[in-house]
Chain A
Amino acid sequence: MKLEIAHARCGYPGHPVVTDISFSVASGEAVYLLGPNGSGKTTLFKTVLGLLPRQGGSVLIDGKDTASWPRQRVARKLAYVPQAHTPPFPFTVRDVVLMARTAHLGMFGMPSRRDAAIAEEAIDALGLSALAGARYTEISGGERQLVLIARAVAQETEFLVLDEPTSNLDFGNQVKLLRIIRALVQRGFGLLVTTHLPDHAFLCASRVALLHRGTLMAQGKPEEVLSEARLQETYGIQLKIAEVEPGLRVCVPVLN
Protein backbone atom coordinates (compact mmCIF):
# COMPACT_ATOMS: atom_id res chain seq x y z
CA MET A 1 0.00 0.00 0.00
CA LYS A 2 1.40 3.34 -0.97
CA LEU A 3 0.32 6.96 -0.77
CA GLU A 4 2.19 9.02 -3.36
CA ILE A 5 2.27 12.73 -3.88
CA ALA A 6 3.72 13.44 -7.34
CA HIS A 7 4.73 16.93 -8.51
CA ALA A 8 1.97 18.40 -6.39
CA ARG A 9 1.19 22.08 -6.71
CA CYS A 10 -1.07 23.26 -3.91
CA GLY A 11 -2.69 26.50 -2.91
CA TYR A 12 -5.32 28.66 -4.48
CA PRO A 13 -5.83 29.65 -8.12
CA GLY A 14 -3.25 32.33 -8.95
CA HIS A 15 -1.66 31.94 -5.53
CA PRO A 16 0.43 28.75 -5.29
CA VAL A 17 1.66 28.02 -1.79
CA VAL A 18 3.49 24.78 -2.49
CA THR A 19 5.16 23.97 -5.81
CA ASP A 20 6.33 20.71 -7.35
CA ILE A 21 6.52 18.46 -4.31
CA SER A 22 6.94 14.69 -4.56
CA PHE A 23 7.13 12.20 -1.72
CA SER A 24 5.44 9.00 -0.63
CA VAL A 25 4.23 7.17 2.45
CA ALA A 26 4.16 3.36 2.59
CA SER A 27 2.31 1.08 5.01
CA GLY A 28 4.25 0.57 8.23
CA GLU A 29 6.20 3.80 8.15
CA ALA A 30 5.81 7.27 9.60
CA VAL A 31 6.79 10.16 7.35
CA TYR A 32 7.30 13.40 9.26
CA LEU A 33 6.75 16.73 7.60
CA LEU A 34 8.74 19.59 9.14
CA GLY A 35 8.86 23.22 8.21
CA PRO A 36 8.50 26.71 9.67
CA ASN A 37 5.14 28.45 10.00
CA GLY A 38 3.90 29.54 6.60
CA SER A 39 6.04 27.00 4.73
CA GLY A 40 2.91 25.37 3.29
CA LYS A 41 2.52 22.33 5.56
CA THR A 42 -1.17 22.82 6.19
CA THR A 43 -1.93 23.59 2.55
CA LEU A 44 -0.06 20.48 1.42
CA PHE A 45 -1.88 18.45 4.04
CA LYS A 46 -5.31 19.58 3.03
CA THR A 47 -4.51 18.93 -0.60
CA VAL A 48 -3.39 15.37 0.18
CA LEU A 49 -6.66 14.83 2.07
CA GLY A 50 -8.61 16.23 -0.87
CA LEU A 51 -10.05 19.06 1.24
CA LEU A 52 -8.45 21.66 -1.05
CA PRO A 53 -8.57 21.23 -4.82
CA ARG A 54 -5.07 20.60 -6.12
CA GLN A 55 -3.57 23.09 -8.55
CA GLY A 56 -1.41 20.53 -10.34
CA GLY A 57 0.31 17.17 -10.01
CA SER A 58 -1.37 14.16 -8.47
CA VAL A 59 -2.12 12.28 -5.26
CA LEU A 60 -2.03 8.54 -5.88
CA ILE A 61 -3.19 5.72 -3.65
CA ASP A 62 -1.82 2.35 -4.81
CA GLY A 63 -1.00 3.94 -8.13
CA LYS A 64 -4.50 5.30 -8.73
CA ASP A 65 -5.14 9.03 -8.96
CA THR A 66 -7.63 10.15 -6.30
CA ALA A 67 -8.65 13.33 -8.15
CA SER A 68 -11.99 11.98 -9.37
CA TRP A 69 -12.76 9.82 -6.33
CA PRO A 70 -15.94 10.51 -4.40
CA ARG A 71 -15.40 11.77 -0.84
CA GLN A 72 -16.23 8.45 0.75
CA ARG A 73 -13.72 6.45 -1.27
CA VAL A 74 -10.93 8.78 -0.12
CA ALA A 75 -12.21 8.53 3.46
CA ARG A 76 -11.87 4.74 3.35
CA LYS A 77 -8.16 5.06 2.56
CA LEU A 78 -7.09 8.22 4.41
CA ALA A 79 -8.11 9.22 7.93
CA TYR A 80 -7.53 12.72 9.25
CA VAL A 81 -6.51 13.47 12.83
CA PRO A 82 -7.00 17.21 13.34
CA GLN A 83 -5.60 19.11 16.30
CA ALA A 84 -7.73 18.61 19.40
CA HIS A 85 -10.72 20.93 19.21
CA THR A 86 -14.01 21.58 20.92
CA PRO A 87 -17.22 20.89 19.00
CA PRO A 88 -20.25 23.00 19.89
CA PHE A 89 -22.21 20.09 21.38
CA PRO A 90 -21.27 17.76 24.28
CA PHE A 91 -21.08 14.47 22.37
CA THR A 92 -19.81 11.47 24.33
CA VAL A 93 -16.37 10.05 23.55
CA ARG A 94 -18.12 6.94 22.23
CA ASP A 95 -20.21 9.02 19.79
CA VAL A 96 -17.17 10.95 18.55
CA VAL A 97 -15.31 7.73 17.73
CA LEU A 98 -18.41 6.23 16.12
CA MET A 99 -18.52 9.19 13.67
CA ALA A 100 -15.61 7.52 11.86
CA ARG A 101 -17.97 4.85 10.56
CA THR A 102 -19.60 7.46 8.29
CA ALA A 103 -16.92 6.52 5.76
CA HIS A 104 -18.54 3.09 5.48
CA LEU A 105 -22.23 4.08 5.58
CA GLY A 106 -24.66 5.13 2.88
CA MET A 107 -26.02 8.67 2.90
CA PHE A 108 -29.12 7.67 4.87
CA GLY A 109 -27.25 5.00 6.84
CA MET A 110 -27.03 4.58 10.60
CA PRO A 111 -24.13 2.86 12.36
CA SER A 112 -24.90 -0.80 13.08
CA ARG A 113 -23.95 -3.01 16.04
CA ARG A 114 -20.87 -4.03 14.09
CA ASP A 115 -19.89 -0.37 13.64
CA ALA A 116 -20.36 0.18 17.38
CA ALA A 117 -18.13 -2.83 18.10
CA ILE A 118 -15.40 -1.46 15.81
CA ALA A 119 -15.57 1.90 17.58
CA GLU A 120 -15.40 0.19 20.98
CA GLU A 121 -12.33 -1.76 19.86
CA ALA A 122 -10.58 1.45 18.78
CA ILE A 123 -11.45 3.06 22.15
CA ASP A 124 -9.93 0.04 23.93
CA ALA A 125 -6.84 0.08 21.73
CA LEU A 126 -6.04 3.61 22.87
CA GLY A 127 -6.77 2.87 26.52
CA LEU A 128 -9.82 5.14 26.63
CA SER A 129 -12.43 2.64 27.90
CA ALA A 130 -12.86 4.48 31.20
CA LEU A 131 -13.73 7.66 29.30
CA ALA A 132 -16.08 6.14 26.72
CA GLY A 133 -19.21 7.57 28.35
CA ALA A 134 -17.68 10.95 29.26
CA ARG A 135 -18.48 14.13 27.40
CA TYR A 136 -15.81 14.90 24.80
CA THR A 137 -16.10 18.61 25.63
CA GLU A 138 -15.18 18.00 29.27
CA ILE A 139 -12.06 15.80 29.01
CA SER A 140 -8.51 17.19 28.85
CA GLY A 141 -6.74 18.28 25.67
CA GLY A 142 -4.46 15.25 25.78
CA GLU A 143 -7.40 12.89 26.14
CA ARG A 144 -9.19 14.62 23.28
CA GLN A 145 -6.20 14.11 20.98
CA LEU A 146 -6.25 10.39 21.83
CA VAL A 147 -9.99 10.23 21.10
CA LEU A 148 -9.38 11.74 17.66
CA ILE A 149 -6.72 9.09 17.00
CA ALA A 150 -9.15 6.38 18.15
CA ARG A 151 -11.66 7.83 15.69
CA ALA A 152 -9.11 7.61 12.86
CA VAL A 153 -8.38 3.99 13.80
CA ALA A 154 -12.12 3.18 13.76
CA GLN A 155 -12.29 4.61 10.24
CA GLU A 156 -10.33 1.49 9.18
CA THR A 157 -8.11 3.20 6.64
CA GLU A 158 -4.61 2.33 5.52
CA PHE A 159 -3.17 5.79 6.07
CA LEU A 160 -3.50 8.30 8.89
CA VAL A 161 -2.73 11.99 8.42
CA LEU A 162 -1.96 13.73 11.73
CA ASP A 163 -1.80 17.51 12.04
CA GLU A 164 0.68 18.49 14.78
CA PRO A 165 -0.63 15.82 17.16
CA THR A 166 1.65 16.89 20.03
CA SER A 167 1.27 20.65 19.74
CA ASN A 168 -1.19 21.24 22.58
CA LEU A 169 -0.01 18.54 24.96
CA ASP A 170 2.06 18.64 28.14
CA PHE A 171 5.38 16.81 28.18
CA GLY A 172 4.02 13.55 29.62
CA ASN A 173 1.18 13.41 27.10
CA GLN A 174 3.59 14.18 24.24
CA VAL A 175 5.63 11.10 25.15
CA LYS A 176 2.47 9.01 25.44
CA LEU A 177 1.48 10.17 21.98
CA LEU A 178 4.90 9.34 20.51
CA ARG A 179 4.51 5.81 21.89
CA ILE A 180 1.12 5.55 20.23
CA ILE A 181 2.56 6.73 16.93
CA ARG A 182 5.15 3.97 17.10
CA ALA A 183 2.48 1.41 17.95
CA LEU A 184 0.35 2.55 14.99
CA VAL A 185 3.33 2.13 12.66
CA GLN A 186 3.90 -1.36 14.05
CA ARG A 187 0.23 -2.18 13.41
CA GLY A 188 0.95 -1.46 9.75
CA PHE A 189 -0.58 1.98 9.26
CA GLY A 190 1.15 4.45 6.99
CA LEU A 191 1.44 7.77 8.85
CA LEU A 192 1.95 11.29 7.59
CA VAL A 193 2.67 13.55 10.56
CA THR A 194 3.47 17.24 10.84
CA THR A 195 5.45 18.55 13.77
CA HIS A 196 7.52 21.54 14.85
CA LEU A 197 9.91 19.45 16.94
CA PRO A 198 12.94 17.79 15.30
CA ASP A 199 13.29 15.63 18.45
CA HIS A 200 9.97 13.96 17.73
CA ALA A 201 11.07 13.22 14.18
CA PHE A 202 14.31 11.68 15.50
CA LEU A 203 12.26 9.45 17.82
CA CYS A 204 9.46 8.31 15.54
CA ALA A 205 10.07 9.12 11.89
CA SER A 206 10.94 6.48 9.33
CA ARG A 207 11.58 9.33 6.92
CA VAL A 208 11.47 13.10 7.08
CA ALA A 209 10.52 15.74 4.52
CA LEU A 210 11.70 19.27 5.23
CA LEU A 211 9.50 21.96 3.74
CA HIS A 212 10.76 25.50 3.26
CA ARG A 213 9.00 28.31 1.41
CA GLY A 214 6.74 25.94 -0.47
CA THR A 215 9.40 23.55 -1.74
CA LEU A 216 11.01 20.43 -0.34
CA MET A 217 14.53 21.22 0.87
CA ALA A 218 15.35 17.59 1.52
CA GLN A 219 13.83 14.25 2.29
CA GLY A 220 15.20 10.97 3.59
CA LYS A 221 16.28 9.42 6.88
CA PRO A 222 15.89 11.78 9.86
CA GLU A 223 19.61 11.77 10.74
CA GLU A 224 20.48 12.69 7.16
CA VAL A 225 17.84 15.34 6.51
CA LEU A 226 17.86 17.04 9.90
CA SER A 227 21.44 18.25 9.95
CA GLU A 228 22.57 21.26 11.96
CA ALA A 229 23.33 23.29 8.85
CA ARG A 230 20.00 22.57 7.17
CA LEU A 231 17.84 23.25 10.22
CA GLN A 232 19.74 26.49 10.90
CA GLU A 233 19.08 27.63 7.37
CA THR A 234 15.40 26.62 7.41
CA TYR A 235 14.49 28.18 10.73
CA GLY A 236 17.10 30.99 10.77
CA ILE A 237 18.34 30.11 14.24
CA GLN A 238 21.46 28.64 15.85
CA LEU A 239 21.20 25.08 17.13
CA LYS A 240 23.18 21.97 18.02
CA ILE A 241 22.42 18.33 17.35
CA ALA A 242 23.94 15.75 19.68
CA GLU A 243 23.85 11.99 19.82
CA VAL A 244 23.20 11.20 23.47
CA GLU A 245 23.60 7.48 22.93
CA PRO A 246 23.78 5.44 19.71
CA GLY A 247 20.58 6.07 17.75
CA LEU A 248 19.21 8.71 20.16
CA ARG A 249 19.60 12.22 18.79
CA VAL A 250 18.44 15.50 20.24
CA CYS A 251 18.23 18.99 18.85
CA VAL A 252 18.86 21.93 21.17
CA PRO A 253 18.68 25.63 20.24
CA VAL A 254 21.61 27.93 21.07
CA LEU A 255 20.36 31.23 22.43
CA ASN A 256 23.45 33.44 22.14
Chain B
Amino acid sequence: MRAPQNAGTLAPAKRHPAMALAILGMLFLVIVWWSLTLGRYDVPLATWWKLVLAPDETGIPGQILLQVRLPRIAAGILIGAGLSAAGAAYQGIFRNPMVSPDILGASAGAGFGAAGAILFDFSVAGVQAASFAFGLLAVLLTCAAAARLKRAGDPILTLVLVGILVGAVFTALVSLVKYAADPYSKLPAITLWLMGSLAAINPKDLAFAVLPMSIGLVPLYFLRWNLNVMAFGEEEARALGADTGKLRWIIIFCATLLTAASVAIAGMVGWVGLVIPHLARMIVGPDYRTLLPASVLLGAGYLLLTDDLARSVMANEIPLGIITALVGAPFFLTLMMRSQRGWV
Protein backbone atom coordinates (compact mmCIF):
# COMPACT_ATOMS: atom_id res chain seq x y z
CA MET B 1 0.00 0.00 0.00
CA ARG B 2 1.46 3.31 -1.04
CA ALA B 3 0.92 6.54 0.80
CA PRO B 4 -0.71 9.28 -1.25
CA GLN B 5 1.90 11.57 -2.70
CA ASN B 6 1.70 15.29 -2.48
CA ALA B 7 5.03 16.02 -4.08
CA GLY B 8 5.08 19.31 -5.88
CA THR B 9 1.48 20.28 -5.33
CA LEU B 10 -0.28 22.42 -2.81
CA ALA B 11 -1.64 20.10 -0.12
CA PRO B 12 -5.20 19.22 -1.09
CA ALA B 13 -7.71 20.33 1.51
CA LYS B 14 -10.12 17.55 0.64
CA ARG B 15 -10.85 16.77 4.25
CA HIS B 16 -11.94 20.32 4.96
CA PRO B 17 -13.75 21.47 1.84
CA ALA B 18 -15.98 23.78 3.89
CA MET B 19 -12.94 25.45 5.45
CA ALA B 20 -11.23 25.89 2.07
CA LEU B 21 -14.38 27.47 0.64
CA ALA B 22 -14.73 29.76 3.67
CA ILE B 23 -11.14 30.99 3.25
CA LEU B 24 -11.65 31.54 -0.50
CA GLY B 25 -14.90 33.37 0.29
CA MET B 26 -13.19 35.73 2.74
CA LEU B 27 -10.35 36.34 0.30
CA PHE B 28 -12.93 37.20 -2.34
CA LEU B 29 -14.69 39.70 -0.04
CA VAL B 30 -11.37 41.40 0.76
CA ILE B 31 -10.67 41.74 -2.98
CA VAL B 32 -14.15 43.20 -3.55
CA TRP B 33 -13.64 45.78 -0.80
CA TRP B 34 -10.20 46.69 -2.07
CA SER B 35 -11.51 47.06 -5.64
CA LEU B 36 -14.31 49.32 -4.42
CA THR B 37 -11.89 51.71 -2.73
CA LEU B 38 -9.38 51.65 -5.58
CA GLY B 39 -9.61 54.38 -8.18
CA ARG B 40 -8.51 57.83 -9.16
CA TYR B 41 -11.39 59.38 -7.26
CA ASP B 42 -10.81 58.77 -3.57
CA VAL B 43 -14.01 57.97 -1.72
CA PRO B 44 -13.78 58.63 2.02
CA LEU B 45 -15.25 56.08 4.39
CA ALA B 46 -17.90 58.56 5.56
CA THR B 47 -19.30 58.73 2.04
CA TRP B 48 -19.72 54.94 2.02
CA TRP B 49 -21.81 55.17 5.14
CA LYS B 50 -23.90 57.99 3.65
CA LEU B 51 -24.35 55.93 0.49
CA VAL B 52 -26.06 53.22 2.48
CA LEU B 53 -28.23 55.61 4.54
CA ALA B 54 -29.12 58.30 2.01
CA PRO B 55 -27.86 57.57 -1.50
CA ASP B 56 -29.23 60.83 -2.99
CA GLU B 57 -27.21 63.21 -0.82
CA THR B 58 -23.76 61.89 -1.64
CA GLY B 59 -23.07 64.02 -4.69
CA ILE B 60 -20.30 63.20 -7.13
CA PRO B 61 -18.52 60.52 -5.06
CA GLY B 62 -21.81 58.67 -4.71
CA GLN B 63 -22.51 58.97 -8.42
CA ILE B 64 -19.10 57.56 -9.24
CA LEU B 65 -19.62 54.62 -6.94
CA LEU B 66 -23.15 53.82 -8.06
CA GLN B 67 -22.86 54.50 -11.78
CA VAL B 68 -19.26 53.55 -12.51
CA ARG B 69 -17.40 51.56 -9.91
CA LEU B 70 -20.16 49.27 -8.60
CA PRO B 71 -21.41 48.13 -12.02
CA ARG B 72 -17.85 47.57 -13.15
CA ILE B 73 -17.07 45.44 -10.10
CA ALA B 74 -20.31 43.50 -10.41
CA ALA B 75 -19.51 42.82 -14.08
CA GLY B 76 -16.01 41.67 -13.15
CA ILE B 77 -17.44 39.25 -10.59
CA LEU B 78 -19.98 37.88 -13.08
CA ILE B 79 -17.45 37.43 -15.88
CA GLY B 80 -14.75 35.88 -13.69
CA ALA B 81 -17.27 33.53 -12.09
CA GLY B 82 -18.93 32.69 -15.41
CA LEU B 83 -15.75 31.97 -17.38
CA SER B 84 -14.29 29.87 -14.56
CA ALA B 85 -17.48 27.85 -14.05
CA ALA B 86 -17.71 27.33 -17.83
CA GLY B 87 -14.10 26.14 -17.98
CA ALA B 88 -14.58 23.75 -15.06
CA ALA B 89 -17.77 22.36 -16.61
CA TYR B 90 -16.20 21.89 -20.07
CA GLN B 91 -13.24 20.10 -18.49
CA GLY B 92 -15.55 17.67 -16.70
CA ILE B 93 -17.91 16.97 -19.57
CA PHE B 94 -15.09 16.45 -22.07
CA ARG B 95 -13.00 14.56 -19.48
CA ASN B 96 -10.20 16.78 -20.53
CA PRO B 97 -8.24 19.07 -18.21
CA MET B 98 -6.83 20.94 -21.20
CA VAL B 99 -10.04 22.44 -22.57
CA SER B 100 -11.57 25.80 -21.79
CA PRO B 101 -13.93 28.25 -23.52
CA ASP B 102 -10.95 29.59 -25.53
CA ILE B 103 -9.65 26.22 -26.61
CA LEU B 104 -13.02 24.77 -27.65
CA GLY B 105 -13.62 27.70 -29.96
CA ALA B 106 -16.53 28.99 -27.85
CA SER B 107 -14.88 32.36 -27.19
CA ALA B 108 -13.90 32.88 -30.84
CA GLY B 109 -17.40 31.91 -32.01
CA ALA B 110 -19.03 34.20 -29.48
CA GLY B 111 -16.57 36.92 -30.44
CA PHE B 112 -17.53 36.62 -34.11
CA GLY B 113 -21.25 36.71 -33.25
CA ALA B 114 -20.82 39.81 -31.12
CA ALA B 115 -18.52 41.59 -33.60
CA GLY B 116 -21.02 40.96 -36.40
CA ALA B 117 -23.84 42.23 -34.21
CA ILE B 118 -21.90 45.41 -33.42
CA LEU B 119 -21.24 45.89 -37.16
CA PHE B 120 -24.96 45.75 -37.86
CA ASP B 121 -25.87 48.00 -34.92
CA PHE B 122 -27.76 45.35 -32.92
CA SER B 123 -29.16 46.18 -29.48
CA VAL B 124 -27.46 44.89 -26.30
CA ALA B 125 -29.81 41.88 -26.25
CA GLY B 126 -29.07 41.31 -29.94
CA VAL B 127 -25.32 41.24 -29.27
CA GLN B 128 -25.93 38.72 -26.47
CA ALA B 129 -28.09 36.49 -28.68
CA ALA B 130 -25.67 36.55 -31.65
CA SER B 131 -22.78 35.90 -29.32
CA PHE B 132 -24.51 32.87 -27.80
CA ALA B 133 -25.66 31.46 -31.14
CA PHE B 134 -22.18 31.51 -32.66
CA GLY B 135 -20.51 30.39 -29.43
CA LEU B 136 -22.76 27.33 -29.34
CA LEU B 137 -22.23 26.72 -33.06
CA ALA B 138 -18.45 26.73 -32.54
CA VAL B 139 -18.65 24.25 -29.64
CA LEU B 140 -20.96 21.96 -31.63
CA LEU B 141 -18.62 22.06 -34.63
CA THR B 142 -15.70 21.18 -32.38
CA CYS B 143 -17.61 18.29 -30.74
CA ALA B 144 -18.85 16.93 -34.06
CA ALA B 145 -15.47 17.04 -35.78
CA ALA B 146 -13.67 15.54 -32.77
CA ALA B 147 -16.26 12.74 -32.60
CA ARG B 148 -15.61 11.88 -36.24
CA LEU B 149 -11.88 11.78 -35.55
CA LYS B 150 -12.33 9.45 -32.59
CA ARG B 151 -9.93 6.89 -33.99
CA ALA B 152 -7.20 9.40 -34.72
CA GLY B 153 -5.48 8.66 -31.42
CA ASP B 154 -5.26 10.54 -28.14
CA PRO B 155 -8.79 11.98 -27.66
CA ILE B 156 -7.55 14.77 -25.37
CA LEU B 157 -5.17 16.03 -28.03
CA THR B 158 -7.72 15.57 -30.83
CA LEU B 159 -10.30 17.74 -29.09
CA VAL B 160 -7.75 20.44 -28.32
CA LEU B 161 -6.49 20.50 -31.93
CA VAL B 162 -9.98 20.54 -33.45
CA GLY B 163 -10.94 23.33 -31.04
CA ILE B 164 -7.93 25.38 -32.14
CA LEU B 165 -8.91 24.83 -35.81
CA VAL B 166 -12.52 25.90 -35.22
CA GLY B 167 -11.25 28.87 -33.22
CA ALA B 168 -8.96 29.83 -36.11
CA VAL B 169 -11.88 29.84 -38.55
CA PHE B 170 -13.94 32.13 -36.32
CA THR B 171 -10.95 34.37 -35.63
CA ALA B 172 -10.55 34.76 -39.41
CA LEU B 173 -14.26 35.62 -39.66
CA VAL B 174 -13.76 38.25 -36.96
CA SER B 175 -10.98 39.74 -39.08
CA LEU B 176 -13.37 39.77 -42.02
CA VAL B 177 -15.91 41.71 -39.95
CA LYS B 178 -13.19 44.18 -38.95
CA TYR B 179 -12.13 44.53 -42.59
CA ALA B 180 -15.70 45.30 -43.58
CA ALA B 181 -16.22 47.76 -40.72
CA ASP B 182 -16.07 51.53 -41.15
CA PRO B 183 -12.43 52.38 -40.22
CA TYR B 184 -13.37 55.64 -38.49
CA SER B 185 -16.28 54.59 -36.27
CA LYS B 186 -16.97 50.83 -36.11
CA LEU B 187 -13.44 49.43 -36.48
CA PRO B 188 -11.94 51.06 -33.36
CA ALA B 189 -15.03 50.06 -31.37
CA ILE B 190 -14.82 46.41 -32.42
CA THR B 191 -11.04 46.23 -32.01
CA LEU B 192 -11.02 47.74 -28.54
CA TRP B 193 -13.94 45.60 -27.48
CA LEU B 194 -12.22 42.43 -28.75
CA MET B 195 -9.21 43.16 -26.55
CA GLY B 196 -11.51 42.83 -23.58
CA SER B 197 -12.42 45.62 -21.23
CA LEU B 198 -14.81 46.45 -18.44
CA ALA B 199 -14.32 50.21 -18.90
CA ALA B 200 -17.51 50.75 -20.86
CA ILE B 201 -19.83 48.81 -18.56
CA ASN B 202 -23.00 50.65 -17.63
CA PRO B 203 -25.83 49.51 -15.34
CA LYS B 204 -28.01 48.67 -18.35
CA ASP B 205 -25.46 46.26 -19.89
CA LEU B 206 -25.07 44.68 -16.51
CA ALA B 207 -28.80 44.09 -16.17
CA PHE B 208 -28.80 42.34 -19.55
CA ALA B 209 -25.94 40.06 -18.50
CA VAL B 210 -27.38 38.99 -15.14
CA LEU B 211 -30.12 36.86 -16.69
CA PRO B 212 -28.00 34.65 -19.02
CA MET B 213 -25.33 34.37 -16.33
CA SER B 214 -27.89 33.08 -13.83
CA ILE B 215 -29.43 30.70 -16.36
CA GLY B 216 -25.95 29.29 -16.94
CA LEU B 217 -24.61 29.25 -13.41
CA VAL B 218 -27.55 27.95 -11.36
CA PRO B 219 -28.09 24.62 -13.21
CA LEU B 220 -24.34 23.95 -13.23
CA TYR B 221 -24.25 24.49 -9.47
CA PHE B 222 -27.03 21.99 -8.88
CA LEU B 223 -25.61 19.46 -11.36
CA ARG B 224 -22.13 19.50 -9.84
CA TRP B 225 -22.37 15.94 -8.50
CA ASN B 226 -23.22 14.71 -11.97
CA LEU B 227 -20.16 16.54 -13.32
CA ASN B 228 -18.11 14.17 -11.14
CA VAL B 229 -19.84 11.17 -12.64
CA MET B 230 -19.53 12.44 -16.22
CA ALA B 231 -15.75 12.70 -15.73
CA PHE B 232 -15.69 8.88 -15.85
CA GLY B 233 -16.91 8.80 -19.41
CA GLU B 234 -20.23 8.33 -21.14
CA GLU B 235 -20.55 4.55 -20.73
CA GLU B 236 -19.53 4.37 -17.11
CA ALA B 237 -21.68 7.34 -16.17
CA ARG B 238 -24.68 5.63 -17.75
CA ALA B 239 -23.91 2.37 -15.95
CA LEU B 240 -23.82 4.38 -12.72
CA GLY B 241 -27.33 5.61 -13.44
CA ALA B 242 -26.70 9.09 -14.89
CA ASP B 243 -28.92 10.28 -17.73
CA THR B 244 -25.90 11.26 -19.81
CA GLY B 245 -27.78 12.31 -22.95
CA LYS B 246 -29.71 15.00 -21.10
CA LEU B 247 -26.84 16.01 -18.80
CA ARG B 248 -24.37 16.50 -21.63
CA TRP B 249 -26.62 18.98 -23.42
CA ILE B 250 -27.64 20.91 -20.32
CA ILE B 251 -24.02 21.30 -19.25
CA ILE B 252 -22.71 22.31 -22.70
CA PHE B 253 -25.63 24.74 -23.08
CA CYS B 254 -24.99 26.36 -19.68
CA ALA B 255 -21.21 26.61 -20.10
CA THR B 256 -21.56 28.12 -23.58
CA LEU B 257 -24.19 30.59 -22.37
CA LEU B 258 -21.79 31.74 -19.61
CA THR B 259 -18.97 32.16 -22.14
CA ALA B 260 -21.14 34.03 -24.63
CA ALA B 261 -22.58 36.37 -22.00
CA SER B 262 -19.05 37.21 -20.82
CA VAL B 263 -17.82 37.85 -24.35
CA ALA B 264 -20.87 39.96 -25.15
CA ILE B 265 -20.31 42.40 -22.27
CA ALA B 266 -16.53 42.39 -21.92
CA GLY B 267 -15.02 41.08 -25.16
CA MET B 268 -12.34 38.44 -25.36
CA VAL B 269 -11.00 37.80 -21.87
CA GLY B 270 -8.82 34.75 -22.39
CA TRP B 271 -7.18 32.15 -20.16
CA VAL B 272 -9.45 32.61 -17.12
CA GLY B 273 -11.49 29.51 -17.98
CA LEU B 274 -8.37 27.34 -18.24
CA VAL B 275 -6.20 28.67 -15.42
CA ILE B 276 -8.75 29.11 -12.64
CA PRO B 277 -10.29 25.58 -12.64
CA HIS B 278 -6.73 24.18 -12.52
CA LEU B 279 -5.78 26.40 -9.60
CA ALA B 280 -9.02 25.51 -7.82
CA ARG B 281 -8.40 21.80 -8.42
CA MET B 282 -4.96 22.17 -6.81
CA ILE B 283 -6.45 23.81 -3.75
CA VAL B 284 -9.63 21.78 -3.13
CA GLY B 285 -9.18 18.63 -5.25
CA PRO B 286 -11.21 17.42 -8.25
CA ASP B 287 -14.57 16.86 -6.51
CA TYR B 288 -16.98 19.20 -8.30
CA ARG B 289 -19.08 19.60 -5.15
CA THR B 290 -16.35 21.93 -3.88
CA LEU B 291 -14.44 22.51 -7.12
CA LEU B 292 -17.28 24.43 -8.79
CA PRO B 293 -17.92 26.91 -5.95
CA ALA B 294 -14.15 27.26 -5.44
CA SER B 295 -13.68 28.03 -9.17
CA VAL B 296 -16.44 30.63 -9.01
CA LEU B 297 -14.91 32.41 -5.98
CA LEU B 298 -11.36 32.26 -7.32
CA GLY B 299 -12.40 33.31 -10.82
CA ALA B 300 -14.40 36.29 -9.58
CA GLY B 301 -11.54 37.40 -7.32
CA TYR B 302 -8.93 36.89 -10.04
CA LEU B 303 -10.84 38.92 -12.60
CA LEU B 304 -11.38 41.76 -10.12
CA LEU B 305 -7.65 41.86 -9.39
CA THR B 306 -6.82 41.86 -13.11
CA ASP B 307 -9.29 44.66 -13.71
CA ASP B 308 -7.79 46.60 -10.78
CA LEU B 309 -4.45 46.29 -12.55
CA ALA B 310 -6.03 47.31 -15.86
CA ARG B 311 -7.43 50.52 -14.43
CA SER B 312 -4.57 51.56 -12.14
CA VAL B 313 -1.19 50.67 -13.67
CA MET B 314 -1.08 53.19 -16.50
CA ALA B 315 -2.68 56.55 -17.12
CA ASN B 316 -4.71 54.96 -19.91
CA GLU B 317 -6.55 51.74 -19.19
CA ILE B 318 -4.87 48.55 -20.38
CA PRO B 319 -7.34 46.20 -22.14
CA LEU B 320 -8.27 43.36 -19.79
CA GLY B 321 -7.65 40.59 -22.31
CA ILE B 322 -4.01 41.66 -22.64
CA ILE B 323 -3.46 41.34 -18.87
CA THR B 324 -5.28 38.00 -18.50
CA ALA B 325 -3.09 36.57 -21.28
CA LEU B 326 0.15 38.13 -19.96
CA VAL B 327 -0.56 36.86 -16.44
CA GLY B 328 -2.52 33.71 -17.27
CA ALA B 329 -0.26 31.96 -19.77
CA PRO B 330 2.98 32.04 -17.72
CA PHE B 331 0.98 31.26 -14.58
CA PHE B 332 -0.50 28.19 -16.25
CA LEU B 333 2.94 27.03 -17.32
CA THR B 334 4.12 27.33 -13.71
CA LEU B 335 1.12 25.35 -12.49
CA MET B 336 1.89 22.55 -14.94
CA MET B 337 5.52 22.44 -13.91
CA ARG B 338 4.63 22.33 -10.22
CA SER B 339 2.03 19.60 -10.59
CA GLN B 340 4.56 17.06 -11.95
CA ARG B 341 1.67 14.96 -13.17
CA GLY B 342 1.53 16.63 -16.55
CA TRP B 343 -2.04 17.81 -16.47
CA VAL B 344 -3.13 18.99 -13.07
Per-residue 0/1 for A150-184: is the Cβ within 8 Å of any B Cβ (1 yes, 0 no)?
A: 00000100000000000000000000000000000
Cα–Cα, bound, A78→B238 (Å): 11
Tell me if A51 and B238 are in contact (CB < 8 A). yes
Of A74, A92, A104, which contacts B285 at CB under 8 A?
Answer: A92
Cα–Cα, bound, A24→B155 (Å): 37
Of A82, A103, A134, which contacts B4 at CB under 8 A?
Answer: A134
Tell me if B97 and A103 are in contact (CB < 8 A). no
Q: Quick one: closest B residue to A74, CB to CB?
A: B241
Tell me if A87 and B231 are in contact (CB < 8 A). yes
Tell me if B240 and A102 are in contact (CB < 8 A). yes
Residue A25 is within 8 A (CB to CB) of chain B in the complex:
no
Contacts of B289 in A (CB 8 A): 110
- Which segment of B63-71, B219-227, B297-305, B311-319 sits at the interface? B219-227
Give the total of A residues in contact with B, Cβ under 8 Å.
Answer: 43
Residue A76 is within 8 A (CB to CB) of chain B in the complex:
yes
Contacts of B238 in A (CB 8 A): 50-51, 71, 75
Tell me if A88 and B2 are in contact (CB < 8 A). no
B contacts with A: majority SS: loop
Interface centre among A78, A87, A102 (most CB of B within 10 A): A102
Q: Quick one: closest A residue to B289, CB to CB?
A: A110
Tell me if A140 and B239 are in contact (CB < 8 A). no
Contacts of B239 in A (CB 8 A): 49, 51, 75, 78-80, 82
Cα–Cα, bound, A34→B286 (Å): 38
Q: Quick one: closest B residue to A51, CB to CB?
A: B235
Cα–Cα, bound, A155→B241 (Å): 9
Interface residue ranges of A90-107 to B (CB < 8 Å) = 90-92, 95, 99-100, 102-105, 107
Residue A200 is within 8 A (CB to CB) of chain B in the complex:
no
Tell me if B95 and A82 are in contact (CB < 8 A). no
Residue A1 is within 8 A (CB to CB) of chain B in the complex:
no
Q: Quick one: closest B residue to A80, CB to CB?
A: B239
Cα–Cα, bound, A76→B2 (Å): 33
Residue A63 is within 8 A (CB to CB) of chain B in the complex:
no
Nearest 5 pairs of A and B residues by beta carbon: A75-B241, A103-B241, A89-B286, A80-B239, A134-B4
Given A78-B239, A89-B281, 20 additional A-B pairs, CB 8 A: A70-B243, A75-B239, A76-B241, A80-B239, A82-B236, A82-B239, A87-B95, A87-B232, A87-B233, A89-B286, A91-B228, A91-B231, A99-B228, A102-B237, A105-B225, A107-B246, A107-B247, A110-B225, A135-B5, A140-B2
